[in-house]
Amino acid sequence: MAGVSYDNDAEPYGTSGGLIQQHAVEESTPLLSKIVAEHELLYQRFSPRRKKFIVAMVSFCGLIPLFISGTFIPCIPQISRDLDTTGTVVSLAVSLSIFGVSFGSLVASSYSTFYGRRPMYLIFLPLLIIGSIGVSTAQTVTQLMLWRFIQALGCSPGFSVGSGVIGDIYKLEERGTAMGVFFGCVLLGPALAPFVGGFAAHYASWRSLQLGIGLWGFLLFFILYSFLPETIHPGESGAEKAKATAIANGGMAETGWSKGMPVVLNPLRPLSLMRRPNLLFVTLASFFVLLTDYVLLVPIAYTIGKRYGITNEAVIGACFLPAGLGNMIGAPLAGRISDAIVVRMRAKRGGVWYPEDRLRIALPGALFLAPASIWASGFVTEYVESKTLGLSLNLLCLFLNGLGVDFVLSPLASYVVDVMHTRSAESMAANTAFRSIFMSISVAGILPMIENYGLLFTDILGGIGALIGFALLWVTIEYGEKLRKWGDAEDCTDEIR
């Protein structure tokens, strides 16, 4: 809400224990009561039914980046034969797409803060359509890489801008549930993608798959163009603030923006948010926990598939589905529980809000579910010879891992939006890009580590990483106020979310 925010020198989380004295002060004066009422109206601009429709639209957009990466992996052998090259060369397109999505999300989030959320979808989705058509018609490796990068740019707003949209339309007590639904859809992408990619590679062709992705992008563009409203709070976009400032200074004609010239923003600016220790810690925690998912799924054809004699690409892809089911259950459940914890703890403190309360539900996932599932899978694959028993136990481990990973990622995403509400899209883009840098390096080393040190050693190491993530979360919860004070106080929060 325009004009309702703390000054940089103020204590944005209160004066005691990092807590906002929200309800205690809102009753003290009619002015504050009016501010609270106006704040509530911001989240009543859209009906509950329309909010759900908006979440559905941005969730399908958020699913695309990881879906595109996941469908590409099973097609690598077919693509390498078609383009007369090696699988190693073609696999570089996976890293290129990760870079494209990361860079694009930083650009889209920065400009969504200035121009709004809706324009970013309408500008970037055509790139997805063009890139997908280009990939499907590529005749050389160079063409493949070029169109793959454009395709990745086109789907890059899906996660960061989608998180910003949810922060725009849901208030604090409801945001975790909505973010959980969003995350469940986003992480459904890597679970469904290998099955779809494997099925396409086995029964059709990789080119047909890419054309299908382009058609998907076209349908999404049509739906968002027709039905997605602008969700950023009135008066909060950079363009509106620049216009208001120019009018106040009497210099509308002197500003480049007012003349219709495009504003040039630094796309790397969101990464500066990682200097805040609390954001850095939760980002690293999400990386370590999510890495257990990649350690299990990326080499699955060479671990579970090889151990139990599974060679059909479609069947290998189907092994990813239990993890997707875990994501679908875990993300909404964790989001709903995190909302309940926020409400209960704030009531327990007499109306005082401590942002890190939302992270408490993530601790069991990082301490038990994520490490235990990857360790169990390693031991089962190593020592259980029976195909039926071994495969069944591994599928259970994949389900529990998907559940545990989303019990961490969903509350963490809501927390980032809570504490950086006015820059929610940028903070999520920084979170994703920063994590992707470490993830791309780590994923490249999974297969070599298995080959050199064995599956069990690799899985044990991945589980230890999850415990490091748990430690980072515990420190953030325990010392949240101190960590926030060490960061730059600029634009950390609104008075009320």
What's at 479, amino acid-wise? Answer: Y
- In three-state secondary structure terms, 494 is strand
Q: Is the dihedral of CA 344, 349, 355, 356 positive or negative?
A: negative
Q: Would you list the DSSP string of 311-355? A: --HHHHHHTTHHHHHHHHHHHHHHHHHHHHHHHHHHHHTTS-B-G
Q: What is the pLDDT of residues 50-95, one digit of tens each?
A: 999 999 999 999 989 888 877 887 777 788 889 988 776 777 777 7
For residues 438, 440, 443, 445, the Cα torsion angle rounded to the nearest 10 degrees is -80
Least confident segment among 108-112, 169-173, 297-301: 297-301
Query: Mean pLDDT over residues 179-198, rounded?
Result: 80
Say whether pLDDT at 25 is over 70: no
Say whether pLDDT at 255 is over 70: no
Which residue, chain included where needed, has tokens 């945001």? 175
Structure confidence at residue 59 (pLDDT): 92
269-287 burial, b for 16+ CB within 10 Å, e for fewer?
bbbebbebbbbbbbbbbbb
- In three-state secondary structure terms, 243 is helix
Q: Residue ranges of the alpha helices (H) in 73-140? A: 76-82, 87-115, 117-137
Could you tell me the two tokens for 139?
């005749």
Structure confidence at residue 246 (pLDDT): 65
Percentage above 90 pLDDT, the chain: 40
Say whether pLDDT at 256 is over 70: no
How many CB atoms within 10 Å of residue 250? 8
Say whether pLDDT at 243 is over 80: no
Could you tell me the two tokens for 83?
């383009």
Say whether pLDDT at 27 is over 50: no
Say whether pLDDT at 353 is over 70: yes
Helix (H) or strand (E) holding 227: helix 206-227
Could you tell me the two tokens for 121?
């979808």
Query: Mean pLDDT over residues 195-199, rounded?
Result: 80
Q: Would you list the DSSP string of 188-215? A: HHHHHHHHHHHHHHHHS-HHHHHHHHHH
Question: Which of 443, 433, 438 has its CA nearest to residue 99?
Answer: 433
Helix (H) or strand (E) holding 152: helix 141-155
Say whether pLDDT at 208 is over 50: yes
Structure confidence at residue 127 (pLDDT): 96
What's the rounded Cα separation, in Å, for the pair 32 and 50? 29
Q: Judge whether 199 and 183 are in contact, CB under 8 Å.
A: no
Number of helices and strands in the chain (H, E): 23, 0
Question: Which of 320, 286, 279 has its CA nearest to residue 300?
Answer: 320
Higher-pLDDT residue of 269, 229: 229
- Backbone phi and psi for residue 408, each to the nearest 5 degrees, phi listed first: -95, -50
For residues 148, 264, 224, 94, the Cα torsion angle rounded to the nearest 10 degrees is 20
Q: What is the pLDDT of residues 104-162, one digit of tens each?
A: 988 998 888 888 999 999 999 999 999 999 999 999 999 999 999 999 999 999 888 99
Q: What is the pLDDT of residues 312-344, one digit of tens each?
A: 767 877 888 898 889 888 988 998 999 899 999
Q: Per-residue confidence at 29, pLDDT binned at 50, 70, 90?
A: low
DSSP assignment, residue 63?
A: H
Contacts of 340 (CB under 8 A, 6+ apart): none
Domains belonging to the chain, first-starting first, are 48-229+273-486 (1.20.1250.20)
Structure confidence at residue 224 (pLDDT): 96
Could you tell me the two tokens for 463?
């589980």
- C-alpha atoms less than 13 angstroms from C-alpha of 221 in its C-beta half-sphere: 18
